[in-house]
């Protein structure tokens, strides 16, 4: 050994370098939380002027899909109690696409729908007239004591109904439709074509005061 | 040619000298992609689950409101509180806070401000409705209910 000293290998022992880097990597993995900016987008109604009461929009009872959630998180959908939200989006979808009494514009809209959506039209005279503005409104009314979790669950299901309709119109799945960013002209065109004529009419009523704080 | 010569002592160890480079690359990837949380959470945050999630494109337009039960219950009580930046505020201060946030944006983007409400699942609708009313008052009408994807 002693005689070899002059030709000692020059390279640094890099074997433990990997361990050090691993340690750093694991430290960063553990300490970081990946920020997720995902959620349900809404646009709140404009603020009310106390001097001018909101304009009374005459809406027929059949054009409103009522969802009530009480302080015990129990659901009342169109007057019927509902145990879970599994079938809610299907019911909302059937309500929106009812075309009970379409006017001229709504008939044109109906004719533009793909066959798969036309097949879902019930034409029930007791349900909504048409999906255009003023024709079908989904109303969610909560209580001040309703949990935020339940409210979001219901809201999520109603949005799902709309997104499924939009996506079906442009021949995408709902996931693909929601992922459209609108950054390119083609994506924006798809987004607009999906919701053209069918506004997302979700009305969130002021919660009533019982059972909350 | 016909004779297979017995190979004399193949080297058995894998060269590991490139391993640190690979690991460093991973490390740098994580360092670059992660965003450090800039403010400490004063309220509990367990986000609700939802399926119809959408992503927001411009992060600079988002301002965050955190709603939940304070972590320090001895100091702030157990009722849900609102946290903006790193302080707890009352419902009445929201209009002021929104205007401060709007001032940070350029003039053209001011009306596009989006409030991301990160609310705990334990919160009731009462405080949420109050916040929404204040946001309408402050004319910040684009609201996002922050949620995480549902895992079945």
Q: For residue B123, how many other CB atoms are within 10 A of its CB?
A: 24
Contacts A207 to B, Cβ<8 Å: 125-126, 129
pLDDT digits over A40-99, tens only? 888 888 877 777 776 676 777 788 888 888 888 888 888 888 888 888 888 888 888 888
Closest by CA to B116, choosing from A133, A49, A39, is A39
Which residues does residue A66 pair with via DSSP β-bridges, in sequence order?
A139
Q: CB-based contact (8 Å) between B30 and chain A?
A: yes
**pLDDT (tens digit per residue) in A158-168:** 888 888 888 88
Beta bridge pairs of residue A107: none
Window from A28-42, A190-204, B108-122 with minimum mean pLDDT: A28-42
Residue extents of the structural domains in chain A: 61-208
Task: Give A-chain residues touching B129 at CB under 8 angstroms.
Answer: 142, 144, 206-207
Residues 78-137 of A with CB under 8 A from B: none
d(CA B116, CA B61): 10
Is the model more confident about B35 or about A212?
Answer: B35
Contact B62, B104 (CB under 8 A): no
Nearest to A43 among B51, B119, B142 (CB): B142
Say yes or no for a CB contact (<8 Å) between B139 and A182: no
Report if residue B10 sits inside a domain.
Answer: no
Supply A140's token pair: 């969610």
Helix (H/G/I), strand (E/B), else coil: B67: strand
What domain range includes position B77? 49-149
Residues in A touching B127 (Cβ below 8 Å) = 213
Specify the 3-state DSSP secondary structure of A84.
coil
Residue B6 lies in a domain: no
Residue B69's Cβ-side half-sphere holds a number of Cα atoms within 13 Å equal to 11
Residue B83 lies in a domain: yes
* B89 part of contact set with chain A, CB < 8 Å: no
Residue B119 inside a domain? The answer is yes
Give me the residue label for tokens 């809404």. A42
Cα–Cα dist A37/B117, whole Å = 11
CA distance B3 to A56: 100
User: Does residue B127 fall inside a structural domain?
Assistant: yes
What's the pLDDT at A3? 46
As for how many domains chain B has, the answer is 1
**Digitized pLDDT (tens) for each residue of chain B, 152 residues in all:** 556 766 666 667 777 777 778 878 888 887 787 766 667 788 888 888 888 888 887 778 888 889 999 988 888 888 888 988 888 888 889 999 999 989 988 888 888 888 989 999 888 888 898 899 888 888 888 899 988 887 76
Question: Is B56 domain-assigned?
Answer: yes
List pLDDT tens digits, range A171-185. 888 888 888 877 788
**pLDDT greater than 80 at residue A150:** yes
CATH number of the domain encompassing residue B109 = 3.30.420.270
On whether any CB of chain A is under 8 Å from the CB of B35, the answer is: yes
* Strands (E) located in A118-190: 137-143
């Amino acid at each position: 050994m002693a005689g070899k000293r002059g030709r000692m290998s020059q390279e640094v022992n890099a074997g433990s370098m990997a361990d050090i880097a691993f340690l750093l990597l694991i430290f960063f993995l553990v300490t970081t939380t990946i920020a997720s900016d995902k959620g349900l987008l809404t646009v709140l109604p404009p603020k009310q002027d106390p001097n001018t009461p909101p304009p009374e929009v005459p809406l027929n009872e059949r054009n409103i899909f009522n969802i009530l959630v009480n302080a015990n998180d129990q659901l009342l959908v169109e007057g019927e109690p509902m145990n879970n939200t599994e079938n809610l989006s299907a019911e909302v979808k059937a309500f929106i696409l009812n075309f009970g009494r379409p006017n001229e514009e709504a008939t044109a809209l109906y004719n533009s729908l793909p066959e798969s959506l036309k097949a879902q039209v019930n034409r029930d005279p007791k349900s909504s007239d048409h999906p255009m503005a003023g024709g079908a409104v989904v109303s969610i009314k909560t209580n001040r004591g309703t949990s935020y979790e339940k409210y979001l669950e219901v809201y999520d299901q109603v949005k799902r109904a709309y997104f499924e309709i939009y996506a079906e119109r442009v021949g995408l799945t709902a996931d693909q439709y929601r992922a459209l960013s609108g950054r390119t002209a083609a994506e924006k065109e798809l987004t607009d074509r999906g919701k053209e004529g069918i506004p997302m009419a979700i009305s969130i009523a002021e919660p009533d005061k019982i059972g909350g704080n | 040619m016909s004779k297979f010569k017995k190979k004399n002592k193949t080297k058995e160890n894998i060269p590991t000298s490139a391993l640190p480079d690979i690991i460093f690359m991973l490390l740098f990837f994580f360092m670059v992609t992660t965003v450090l949380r800039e403010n400490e959470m004063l309220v509990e945050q367990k986000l609700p689950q939802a399926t119809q999630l959408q992503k927001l494109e411009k992060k600079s337009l988002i301002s965050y409101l955190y709603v939940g039960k304070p972590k320090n219950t001895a100091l702030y009580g157990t009722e849900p509180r609102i946290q903006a930046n790193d302080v707890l505020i009352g419902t009445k201060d929201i209009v002021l806070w929104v205007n401060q946030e709007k001032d940070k944006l350029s003039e053209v983007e001011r009306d596009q401000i989006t409030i991301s409400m990160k609310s705990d699942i334990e919160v009731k609708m009462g405080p949420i409705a109050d916040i929404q009313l204040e946001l309408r008052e402050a004319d910040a009408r684009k609201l996002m209910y922050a949620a995480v994807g549902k895992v079945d």
